[in-house]
Amino acid sequence: TMLRNVEGSDSSVQGTNDEAQVSKLSCATLGYYKDDFIKYFVRKHTRRSPLINRGYFSRYSAISKVFREFLAAAEAAGLPAQVLCLGAGFDTRWFQMLSENGKPMYKCLEVDFIEVTQRKASIIKREPALSSLLIKSACVDGATLSTEGVPNSSSASSTYPTNVHIDPNHGEIFSPFYTLMAVDLRKADKLDAAMEKAGFDFSMPTLILSECVLIYLEASHASAVLSHLAQKFHRAAAVAIYEQVKPDDAFGRQMVLNLELRGCPLRSLSAVPTLEAHKQRLLDCGWSRSYAHDMDELYRLFVDPKEQARAERLEIFDEFEEWHLIQEHYSIALGVNDAEGILKNLGLHLRDGGGGKEERGGCDRGSSGEWIPSTGGCERAGDTAGEYFNINY
């Protein structure tokens, strides 16, 4: 029975991926941010409410800033960057950045359930806009072209380099700068095998992304993933975790209940219900410093204010009470390992004006392991906000 419950929950969690893509397409279509490729992963376009659009924009913008700062640090050190996306779903960031920059900006490994990776591999193989970028990135690596095993190989657009392999049946893509594999995060050996197949170098700067992923695992499994990665990437790495927090107030209880009723229990939320708990978990799992802020603070004091002002002009917005409630129940936690100072500037550093909250800033682990504070580092609401946290993957 327990196995069936876990499998049913896994299937429900996978379903949130489709809902997330609809919201991302809604944002991209309205101009909140640029994503030229999300349309290939959505069957039917639906315009989301301004509340949901702004929520996705705030999440995208905050993660993007961490992303940019990480890539800048790796470039400043003259080192190649790597990105591991846990539960990546139909994320398109690697393709978007390749399209905008004309070259691969980092080596990417995306992992998810096989049902998700099978669909993603199939779509990438089917859509020339996506497969052509894989070909372009592989040719940067000096590959020769081959038409072996490629349908309609008389067409130039379907000619694959010898170092690109797309296998929708197994949900796998292998190429020099982009790898997609099916991995159950509860099995560390499978994750290790995927990183090795992707050609990851554990000494190179690495960013690990987990957006509403670890929270669906049991607390022990989530901590095991974080501990394992902290041990693997001890020189220069960071893990960014976007998740729900504050399950114990009225809004939080309703949020948890809504997701449970949909078969998506937030299994590890009770173990990390606060920002402080998120910071402590990262330190306990072997990350040398940690940060955590709720999305309300990050939107006001971390996201680029010019981008924020531009986005706020896109739609009429009057749901401020709901907005602040929702934003206070989502967070980003960041753990950093930085043995040589390569990532010394990476953190969730807020602009001035973020005082007044008890839980803010970051923490370092001292030489003996102790915590050292460091700098930087509802009925009406229930209706609209319920829609938001039901689909906010």
Q: pLDDT tens for residues 10-65?
A: 666 665 677 889 999 999 999 999 999 999 999 889 999 999 999 999 999 999 99
Which range (186-200, 282-296, 334-348, 359-373) has the least confidence? 359-373
Q: What is the pTM of this model?
A: 0.87
**What pLDDT score was predicted for residue 368?**
40
338 marked among binding-site residues: no
Residues 6+ positions from 84 with CB-CB distance below 8 Å: 109, 111, 195, 200, 206, 207, 208, 209, 229
Domains of the chain by residue range = 2-17+58-391
Q: Contact at 8 Å (CB) between 389 and 326? A: yes
Q: What is the pLDDT of residues 87-143, one digit of tens each?
A: 999 999 999 999 999 999 999 999 999 999 999 999 999 999 999 999 999 987 554
* Higher pLDDT, residue 151 or 202: 202
Q: Give me the count of residues in the chain.
A: 393
Distance CA 346, CA 336 (A): 8
Range of weakest confidence among 52-61, 224-233, 237-246, 379-388: 379-388
Residue 388 has pLDDT above 80, yes or no: no
C-beta neighbour count of 151 within 10 angstroms: 9
**Whether domain 2-17+58-391 has CATH 3.40.50.150:** yes
Give the C-alpha separation, 201 to 226, whole Å.
18
Contact 242, 208 (CB under 8 A): no
Q: From the CA atom positions of the chain, what is the Rg in Å?
A: 20
pLDDT at 236 over 80: yes
Q: Please provide the average confidence, as pLDDT, over all residues in the chain.
A: 87
% the chain with pLDDT above 70: 81
Which DSSP category does 204 fall into? S
211 is in an annotated binding site: yes
Q: Torsions phi, psi of 148, nearest 5?
A: -60, 125
184 annotated among ligand-binding-site residues: yes
pLDDT at position 15 is 58
AA identity, residue 358:
E
Query: According to the model, what pLDDT value does residue 139 have?
Result: 85
Window from 120-129, 156-165, 356-365, 382-391 with minimum mean pLDDT? 382-391
- Amino acid letter, 366: G
283 is in an annotated binding site: no
